[in-house]
């Protein structure tokens, strides 16, 4: 759980509620042994100022590139996006999407809307959008989990999950549960050639 800034406590509560053991990351040492990363919402501008301190960014980039399950919400989605506002200068990057920050206009800067995620069982989720980014294009291997008004608002690329809305701000834990299940599966020991568990995951 990247804890430099933003909606940290809400994600910690949501993760704990689905049986994960969240810990807060403020420095590279805090990353040791994690089986997943959550990048919360907040302000990308602030995150851009804070994240380079202490050398966290290269570590985060390496973990995402190595396939560590990662979940970004709102500013977290922006941090993961490879292209932001037309520039290929990602904060963390690794997610093949292009986004435009604050692109829902003034009247609808913040709003709630039902978000239907066909891969998640049950009723649509309540999407809380707070000065949300608009996903303007998705690249190869990016699965669109939900659309709103024709725009992707939840995407998945392998073990990278990202939403333009804030699932941590509602009591609905289904997305956190799905992410944690993915992270648990990823953390299982890999089989060796003999079929026994005990393989070693190699970081890129």
Q: Which of these is catalytic: 11, 159, 166, 176?
A: 166
Q: Does residue 56 interact with ligand GLN by CB under 6 A?
A: no
Q: Does residue 74 interact with ligand GLN by CB under 6 A?
A: yes
Closest CA relative to residue 14, chosen from 163, 198, 189, 191: 163
Contacts of 137 (CB under 8 A, 6+ apart): 83, 97, 98
Residue 57 CB, nearest distance to ligand GLN (Å)?
16
Binding track over 174-193 against ligand GLN, x by CB under 6 A = --------------------
Contact (Cβ atoms closer than 8 angstroms) between residue 162 and residue 179:
no
Residue 107 CB, nearest distance to ligand GLN (Å)?
15
Q: Does residue 131 interact with ligand GLN by CB under 6 A?
A: yes
User: 56 or 130: whose CB is closer to ligand GLN?
Assistant: 130
Apex 179 CA angle, 204 and 41, nearest 5: 85
Contact (Cβ atoms closer than 8 angstroms) between residue 35 and residue 183:
yes
DSSP 2: B
- Give the whole-angstrom CA distance, residue 155 versus residue 158: 10
Residue 91 CB, nearest distance to ligand GLN (Å)?
10
Q: Judged by CB under 6 A, which of 22, 41, 72, 167 binds ligand GLN? A: 41
Q: Tell me the catalytic residues.
A: 74, 166, 168
């Amino acid at each position: 759980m990247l804890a430099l800034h933003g909606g940290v406590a809400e994600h910690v509560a949501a993760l704990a509620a689905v049986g994960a053991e969240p810990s807060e990351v403020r420095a590279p040492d805090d990353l040791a042994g994690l089986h997943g990363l959550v990048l919360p919402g907040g302000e990308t501008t602030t995150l851009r100022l804070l994240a380079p301190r202490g050398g966290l960014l290269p570590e985060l980039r390496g973990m995402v590139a190595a396939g560590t399950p990662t979940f970004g919400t709102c500013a977290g989605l922006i941090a993961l996006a490879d292209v932001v506002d037309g520039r290929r200068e990602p904060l963390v990057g690794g997610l093949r999407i292009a986004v435009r920050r604050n692109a829902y206009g003034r009247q609808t800067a913040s709003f709630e809307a039902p978000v239907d995620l066909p891969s998640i069982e049950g009723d649509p989720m309540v999407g809380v959008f707070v000065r949300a980014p608009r996903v303007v294009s998705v690249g190869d291997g990016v699965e669109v989990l939900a659309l709103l008004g024709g725009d992707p608002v939840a995407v998945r690329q392998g073990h990278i999950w990202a939403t333009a809305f804030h699932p941590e701000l509602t009591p609905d834990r289904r997305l956190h549960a799905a992410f944690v299940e993915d992270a648990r599966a990823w953390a299982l020991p890999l089989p060796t050639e003999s079929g026994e568990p005990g393989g070693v995951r190699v970081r890129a």
